[in-house]
Chains A and B, each alone.
Chain A
Amino acid sequence: MTTLQVRVWRGGPQGGDYRAYEVPRQASQSVLDVVTYIQRTLDPTLAYRFACRVGMCGSCAMTVNGVARWTCRTHVDQVCADGRLELAPLANLPVIRDLVADMREFFDKWARARGRFAGRRTRHDDFERVAPDSEPRRQVDAAIECIGCGVCYSSCDVVAWNPDYLGPAALNRAWTLQRDVRDAAQAERLRAVAGDAGCHACHTHLSCTERCPKHISPTAGIAGLKRAAAAAALKGEL
């Protein structure tokens, strides 16, 4: 049986270092399987986070060989040609312990970007009809499947340079609401996401788009927000 040489970052908010482990190589082994093997067999003190194991919950993202990825759906074969893996917590977020990043700031930014739907109808009204093939609906469809894993946020250079930047996931969420014809907080949301901590800070590096495990393009949504903000500003509505 062949083995994987795995280096795992161990530590906390004050700092830490990599520790080496040897893990048996298996067929169809995911990176999350490797971490789970280490925790259950070699070192029960290892802290990491996971829930669904099938790419739905977004909780198991980590830095794998220098790149942020969801680990449950990342096979070792995809990322490890030479039998070596290096695992670290997500970048651009504070570390709680070992592979567990503190996601509070990440989700607080969703709230700051007005990532909450604001309806205008009550339970007594009829459903609003949204044509599935209408342009706004198709734009929402292209961006709505975000699982909040933080891979885009961790991969974004602008987040690293400007800690106030709302980040790709929060702006993508805002974009889905901006294109939601039922939403009643469009102007308020545009004011929240425009500015040098919002969509205008994006340099279109496309790292978020390249690494999003759900193949969403937050960059496209951010560009849409920029256009919407410019149109509103020119009309004097921003």
Chain B
Amino acid sequence: MSARREALLWAAQRASAAMLALCVVVHLATMIYAAHAGLGAAQILERTRGNVVWLGFYSVFLLAVVVHVPIGLRAVLSEWLGWRGASRDAFLAAFAAGLGWLGARAILGVFL
């Protein structure tokens, strides 16, 4: 069971890394464009509010973060602090939920 879980977590981390690579590039390119075009907060919100494309893009970005970060943190906690087992996994699940909540709040903040 452990071998299967580790293999699936590895696959999930690699897949989410590939998604993150794409999302970060798009996000940075958009930020650079917005800064160079001199767009202020009001003009950016004007473009994001009610825009399902940006909602979809940042939802995918958030999903990749929520999958990727806790799996990486899991290795750090195990190797640096020697923290393993159910208590570590419960902490990571809560951490992932927290990341998801904060991210969803930010996405909805610019969509609604």
| Residues of A bordering B, CB below 8 Å | 158, 161-162, 190-191, 194-196, 198, 200-201, 203, 226, 229-230, 232-234, 238
Q: Would B7 and A230 count as touching, CB distance under 8 A?
A: yes
Q: Would B7 and A233 count as touching, CB distance under 8 A?
A: yes
Additional pairs, 17, CB under 8 Å, beyond known A200-B6, A232-B7, A234-B11: A158-B79, A191-B3, A194-B4, A196-B2, A196-B78, A196-B84, A198-B6, A200-B7, A203-B75, A226-B7, A226-B10, A229-B3, A233-B3, A233-B8, A234-B8, A238-B3, A238-B4
Q: Would A195 and B6 count as touching, CB distance under 8 A?
A: yes
A191-B3, A196-B6 in contact; A233/B78 too (CB < 8 A)? no
Closest beta carbon of chain B to A175's beta carbon, Å: 15
A-B contact pairs, 7 of them (CB 8 A): A195-B3, A195-B6, A200-B9, A229-B10, A230-B8, A233-B4, A233-B11
CA distance A229 to B4 in the complex (A): 8
Q: Number of B interface residues, CB 8 Å?
A: 15
CA distance A162 to B75 in the complex (A): 11
A161-B80, A162-B78, A196-B78 in contact; A230/B10 too (CB < 8 A)? yes
Q: Would B3 and A161 count as touching, CB distance under 8 A?
A: no
Closest beta carbon of chain A to B92's beta carbon, Å: 14
CA distance A200 to B14 in the complex (A): 12
Query: Within 8 Å CB of B84, what residues of A?
Result: 196
CA distance A69 to B56 in the complex (A): 53
Closest beta carbon of chain A to B79's beta carbon, Å: 4
Query: Within 8 Å CB of B10, what residues of A?
Result: 200, 226, 229-230
Q: Would A229 and B78 count as touching, CB distance under 8 A?
A: no
Which has the most chain A C-beta neighbours within 10 Å: B6, B14, B84?
Answer: B6
Closest beta carbon of chain A to B4's beta carbon, Å: 4
Closest beta carbon of chain B to A16's beta carbon, Å: 27
Query: Within 8 Å CB of A230, what residues of B?
Result: 7-8, 10-11, 14
Query: Within 8 Å CB of B8, what residues of A?
Result: 230, 233-234
Query: Within 8 Å CB of A161, what residues of B?
Result: 79-80
